């Protein structure tokens, strides 16, 4: 894909969220992702409170949860509607940035929470996005991701673009970006694997010298 095609994919997906922001909020505001929040925080080894980036924060449900736990939570989303909603709902700082054009402070975050967001990044652009997240974490910082799993296919699902990785391919991508796997699990908990469409994983930032050999 050239940059123009990547941009058009991103804009179309974000336009869908802008157009359906209220409906999305009503459909997800009561989802319980406390297992994911706890998984990220459990692996952060720096003293609390932590500085956490909620990547793809949407209307701010999880952003507020981190703030309510006493952490310094910053949101980021590519949808202008979501950014406005998240600021109002959480009272937190929220940045309006496209994932394909991230401008993040270096070594700033103890943790990055990417819940149901990175799967919208086309596979060709994912390495540079992961590199940006690696650089934004402090040394030893932790990244949480949860994505709908698949067989490494990508494309349009209605008006939204998605890339659906299996565990082995996700491990390959994360390792190449300089991350070490800490834990993974499937959601929702307590169901047979075929009824668990979400792959959650937690990763620690390695020093760049170790990731490049």
What's the gap between Cα 38 and its chain centre?
A: 15
Count up the domains in the chain and report the number.
1
Q: Which of 186, 197, 201, 200 is nearest to 151 (CA)?
A: 197
CATH code for position 204: 3.40.50.150
Pair of tokens at residue 133:
């997240």
Q: What pLDDT score was predicted for residue 213?
A: 39
pLDDT per residue, tens digit, the chain (213 aa), is 799 999 999 999 999 999 999 999 999 999 999 999 999 999 999 999 999 999 999 999 999 999 999 999 999 999 999 999 999 999 999 999 999 999 999 999 999 999 999 999 999 999 999 999 999 999 999 999 999 999 999 999 999 999 999 999 999 999 999 999 999 999 999 999 999 999 999 999 997 654 443
Q: What pLDDT score was predicted for residue 207?
A: 79
- Report the chain's C-alpha Rg in angstroms: 16
**Residue 40 sits in which domain range?**
3-212
pTM of the model: 0.95
Distance CA 143, CA 112 (A): 5
Give yes or no for a contact between 54 and 88, defined as CB atoms under 8 angstroms apart: no
Q: What pLDDT score was predicted for residue 208?
A: 65
């Amino acid at each position: 894909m050239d940059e123009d095609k990547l941009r058009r994919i991103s804009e179309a997906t974000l336009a869908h969220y802008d157009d359906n922001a209220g409906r999305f909020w009503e459909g997800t505001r009561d989802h319980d992702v406390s297992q994911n929040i706890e998984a990220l925080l459990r692996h952060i080894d720096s003293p609390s409170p932590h500085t956490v980036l909620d990547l793809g924060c949407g209307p701010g449900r999880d952003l507020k949860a981190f703030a309510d736990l006493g952490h310094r939570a910053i949101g980021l989303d590519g949808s202008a509607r979501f950014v406005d909603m998240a600021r109002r709902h959480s009272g937190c700082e929220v940045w309006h940035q496209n994932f394909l054009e991230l401008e993040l402070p270096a070594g700033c975050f103890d943790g990055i929470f990417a819940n149901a967001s990175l799967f919208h990044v086309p596979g060709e652009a994912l390495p540079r996005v992961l590199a940006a997240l690696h650089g934004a974490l402090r040394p030893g910082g932790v990244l949480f991701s949860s994505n709908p799993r698949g067989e490494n296919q990508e494309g349009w699902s209605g008006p939204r673009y998605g890339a659906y990785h299996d565990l082995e391919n996700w491990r390959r991508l994360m390792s190449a970006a300089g991350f070490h796997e800490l834990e993974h699990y499937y959601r929702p908990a307590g169901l047979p694997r075929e009824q668990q469409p979400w792959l959650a994983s937690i990763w620690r930032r390695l020093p760049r010298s170790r990731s490049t050999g």
